[in-house]
Amino acid sequence: MSNTPPTPPVRVAVIGVGGIANQHLKALHKLDGVELAGLADVNEQGMHAKADEYEVDRANCYTDYQLMLEAVKPDAVSVCTPNGLHAPNSIAALEAGAHVIVEKPMAMNATEAKAMIDAAQRNDRKLVIGFQFRYDPKTAFVVAQHKAGLLGDIRFGRVWALRRRGIPNWGVFGRKDLQGGGPMIDIGVHALEMCHYAMGSPKPVAAVGMTDTYMGNSEEASKVACKWPNWDWESYTVEDLAVGHIRFENGAVIHIESSFAAHHEHASTTMDFQLMGTRGGVKWGSSELFTDLNGYMMNGKPAFMPKMEWHGYFDAKLGNFITHIRDDTPSNAPAHHGLMVQQMIDAVYRSADEGGNEVTID
């Protein structure tokens, strides 16, 4: 009989318990070796409801996240607050000695992202970004084709995350001062980070961008029949459409299109990316491979592709986070990947603000 004491659970706290935090709480609650140790949110009533649902002691729930960190002393923290709070929440948790997983985008800008990485290094803590679509089976398919050499050298990636009329009518998604931007930083980030990851995460060096606002700040547009009508058009200060062209150190290029409101054929959100290399190409959404075989141009698809439900992404990314901090296994979404994605988004926005001139990425 072994006298080895049992491994203590990883004590995880969550900052911000609205919206996306529901998925974090569900995933953490069912993970073996994890204890939900505390919550922090300005909405005390909603926080207590979540505490009861996920068996968190109300005594460990605080409306001030700094007090929660001091009192609970968690091993790890999941940051699920709006974009503008990602950096201060994450840095405070890292300074308190906790490992951190922070929802996408990593921060409001690359300067904040660098400060988060500095805090992690200074305190010898791990920092992970919540890029859940890296766990999609379709992403694994694309990565496998690239690693096997079937694509050759990637020269071009096309990325799109488009909504026809999909401006959220809740939260602060239309507030640039609180979100950092609109569709590019909110939904474009998903497709961009997947494409960049599948390419092998090359270093970005320059970008050109364009943004435009033509419906989000219109009362008339907000009344058109759609999934989320009657958004707060009066406080809307982000773009409806963003287009970017990003160059990388290895000579490859990504073109990205992202919209909250664009006149195109699909009523629902369409998100996808496509890679084109010297030996072959691949499309994420349809899992198609395009190459030459025995003198013919060939299109191929897997006979079977596993599917992942929405909650599965969070089970996978929170599971990877826990094993990363507990067993020192590799992270699938390390902080320096988040920083590069943030730098690309920043550069597209900066170029748009400067009239579309190319800007360099340091």
Which phi and psi angles does 293 have, rounded to 5°?
Answer: -145, 120
Which structural domains are found in the chain, ordered by start?
10-133+315-333 (3.40.50.720), 134-308+340-360 (3.30.360.10)
Cα(108)–Cα(86) distance, integer angstroms: 8
Least Cα distance to 241 among 178, 196, 186, 179 occurs for 186
Give the pLDDT of residue 229: 95
Give the pTM: 0.94
CA 189 from chain center: how many Å?
6
Phi, psi (5° rounding) for residue 351? -60, -45
pLDDT along the chain (362 residues), means of 10: 75 95 97 97 97 97 98 98 96 98 96 98 98 97 97 98 95 92 96 97 98 96 94 96 98 97 89 98 98 97 95 97 96 97 98 97 92
Verify cis geometry, omega within 30 degrees of 0, for the bond prior to 168: no
Integer CA distances (angstroms), 289 to 142, 175, 184, 275, in order: 9, 40, 27, 10
pLDDT value for 269:
87
Nearest to 141 by CA among 248, 27, 268, 273: 273
Contact present, 19 and 41 (Cβ < 8 Å)? no
Give the start-end residues of each E strand in the chain. Answer: 10-15, 34-40, 61-62, 76-79, 99-103, 127-130, 154-162, 204-212, 241-248, 253-259, 270-277, 280-283, 288-293, 296-300, 359-360
